[in-house]
Amino acid sequence: MLVPVDGGDLAVEIHDGHTAPVLAIHGVSGSRKLWNRVAAHGFSLITPDLRGRGDSSGVPGATIRQHADDMVRVLDALELPSATVAGMSMGGYVAVDLAVRYPDRVRALVLVDGGFPMPAHAQMTEEILTAALAPQLAARERTWTPDEYLAVQAVVDPLIDTTDPLVREYYTHDLTADGHLRLPAETLLADTRDVVFGESRWQELTVPTWFVHAEWSVGADSAPAYTAEQAAGFRAALPVLREPVLITEVDHGGTVLTRKGAAVTAEVLAEALK
């Protein structure tokens, strides 16, 4: 379905399942297909392509606040007074902003390796960020066949099985029919800057919140986005946060794109739905 927002229409996919509806928000370079493997566990998911991504690639603008306002439009279009909300990576920051500014619209919150301040962000500068994004920006200057694009993803993150049909669907959704990456460079940069240099309002959360985090960031044995000690610190500082859940032997993307990660995330989501 298409949902009118400022500047255009958001593409929203509805996964029919056997649960109450869950609004699931993807990460900075992702799309609605990120949640394919979690949806396979039988959840009723509402998965938008955020502005600038997937079938919403023509919608301009990119800030955490704007994405959160768009999510209110999605709930309104579906005539949902409230819903459980899940956010992965940047989607976690969008979900936090949504829950803080519209707490009556969020029944419960599940944050997956995002939403809380990442320690690495404190060391980031504009120059370091631009350098870190250089490969992704360069990838937008050429065309790709699906097989070429999947081969690169398999090298970037060997823990994710790119032969999995649900994963393949996720990655190929990044491409236009003529092989260009849909996400514009300016949108990628603007949203990444907002995540890295913006301020998460996590300490203002008042809704029941769950936090799932990965043992690694990208690839085996890499430093995680959040350590267990940091997650425990969030738990101590935020009364509405339940005991954090660590997914071992997966990395950031693997929290939802691998069978093991998706299974644990699904368990936490089921708990939040109770």
Q: By C-alpha distance, which of 133, 173, 178 is closest to 150? A: 173
**Distance between first and last Cα of the chain:** 28
Phi, psi of 214 (to 5 degrees): -95, 155
- Domain membership of residue 259 as a residue range: 2-273
Burial class (CB in 10 A: 0-12, 13-18, 19+), 237: exposed
Residue 215's CATH number: 3.40.50.1820
Tokens of 67: 């994405």
Q: How many domains does the chain have?
A: 1
The answer to whether 175 and 182 have CB atoms below 8 angstroms apart is yes
pLDDT of residue 244: 98
The answer to whether 12 and 5 have CB atoms below 8 angstroms apart is no
Distance between CA atoms of 132 and 130, rounded to whole angstroms?
5
pLDDT of residue 123: 87
Distance between CA atoms of 191 and 99, rounded to whole angstroms?
19
Tokens of 249: 């032997």
pLDDT along the chain (274 residues), means of 10: 97 97 97 97 98 96 95 98 98 98 98 94 90 93 96 94 96 96 95 93 98 96 96 98 98 97 98 97
Q: What is the DSSP string of 65-119?
A: HHHHHHHHHHHHHTT-S-EEEEEETHHHHHHHHHHHH-GGGEEEEEEES-SSPPG
Tokens of 161: 């099985």
Distance between CA atoms of 2 and 101, rounded to whole angstroms?
24
| Element spanning 126, H or E | helix 126-139
In the sheet with 22-25, reading across from the earlier edge strand, the strands are: 2-5, 8-15, 45-48, 22-25, 83-88, 106-112, 209-214, 245-247
Distance between CA atoms of 204 and 193, rounded to whole angstroms?
22
Beta strands in 183-224 (DSSP E): 209-214
pLDDT of residue 62: 84
Distance between CA atoms of 210 and 7, rounded to whole angstroms?
33
